[in-house]
Amino acid sequence: MSMAPANSGLRPDFAIIAEWIRPGSRVLDLGCGDGTLMKHLAQHKNVGGYGLELDDIYIPACLRNGINVIQTDLDRGLAEFDDDSFDCVVLSLTLQAMHYPAQLLREMLRVGTIGIVTFPNFGHWHVRYHIGLRGRMPINTALPNQWYDTPNIHLCTLQDFETPTRPASGCGCCRTCWVRSPSTVSPAGSRRTSRARPPAAGASGTTPARSPVCPPPLRR
């Protein structure tokens, strides 16, 4: 009988993130929700660390999952953590809901060696189809809300995120962005090889690709 992969059953971006993180790492999960990712990493990779979450509804679930959770507003920064406190900082499907995303990206790279960020790619052809041909805001697994009740306030594309920026015009953080993802993470199955070279620490044999859902780890 074949064994199911350790990452099976996880949300697609969580499965990719789990591949990148080394066993025994110290991880900070920003916007951790019910703690699903941190629980998985603790069980399968002996990872320790914290989850940060604002929404009251998720805190009891985090505690039931055995997660060290702190209820806090990410827009206030990460002042409670010292520089280089973590091996990896994760921000999954949360960046677009932040009032100050550039500030948070800088804070991620202050407290962690590597930052992993996922967000809905507003440049994906499925999104362009909805807006260009249907004249409607897209509704899909990465963007499930209607325009009037969405928490998303800063949507962007992979090109936006990967383009180096000067401090006067952007965050200045995103210089070595890359993503390795299986086609399953793409709602449309779209893949394109990345020109950026993934660092050795993340090597796991997965094909380098750009994804409409998951952009990339950041390195200082």
Least confident stretch, 21-30, 38-47, 94-103, 197-206:
197-206
- Chain segment 155-171, per-residue pLDDT in tens: 888 888 877 544 444 44
- Chain segment 77-112, per-residue pLDDT in tens: 999 999 999 999 999 999 998 999 999 999 999 999
pLDDT of 73 over the 90 cut: yes
pLDDT given for residue 2 in this prediction: 43
* Residue 4 within a domain: no
The structure tokens listed for 25 are 């790492």
Domain of 194 in residue numbering reads as: 12-121+151-219
pLDDT given for residue 218 in this prediction: 53
pLDDT given for residue 135 in this prediction: 86
Please list the residues that pair with 219 across neighbouring strands. 114
* Residue 6 within a domain: no
How far apart CA 129 and CA 20 sit, in angstroms, is 32
Q: Band of the pLDDT at 193, cuts 50, 70, 90?
A: very low
Read off φ and ψ for residue 208, nearest 5 degrees.
-60, 135
The tally of CA atoms less than 13 A away on the side-chain side of residue 56 is 0
pLDDT given for residue 130 in this prediction: 85
What CATH number is attached to the domain comprising 207? 3.40.50.150
Query: What letter represents residue 138's amino acid?
Result: P
Strand pairing category for 217-219 and 112-118? antiparallel
Task: List CB contacts of 80: < 8 A, sequence separation 6 or more.
Answer: 70, 72
* Residue 34 within a domain: yes
* Residue 135 within a domain: no
Mean per-residue pLDDT over the chain, rounded: 75
* Residue 136 within a domain: no
* Residue 127 within a domain: no
Identify the CA nearest to 37 among candidates 55, 13, 56: 13
* Residue 132 within a domain: no
What is the greatest pairwise CA distance in the chain?
Answer: 57
- Chain segment 44-66, per-residue pLDDT in tens: 999 999 999 999 999 999 999 99
pLDDT given for residue 63 in this prediction: 96
The structure tokens listed for 117 are 């960020």
pLDDT given for residue 202 in this prediction: 32
pLDDT: which is higher, 167 or 37: 37
Is residue 137 a contact partner of residue 144, using CB atoms and an 8 Å limit? no
Most trustworthy range by pLDDT among 111-115, 135-139, 163-167, 205-209: 111-115
* Residue 1 within a domain: no
How far apart CA 143 and CA 68 sit, in angstroms, is 28
Q: How many domains does the chain have?
A: 1
- Judge if pTM exceeds 0.85: no
The 3-state secondary structure of the chain, one letter per residue: CCCCCCCCCCCHHHHHHHHHCCCCCEEEEECCCCCHHHHHHHHHHCCEEEEEECCHHHHHHHHHCCCCEEECCHHHCCCCCCCCCEEEEEEECCHHHCCCHHHHHHHHHHHEEEEEEECCECCCHHHHHHHHCCCCCCCCCCCCCCCCCCCCCCCECHHHHHCCCCCCCCCCCCCCCCCECCHHHCCCCCCECCCCCCCHHHCCCCCECECCCCCCEEEC
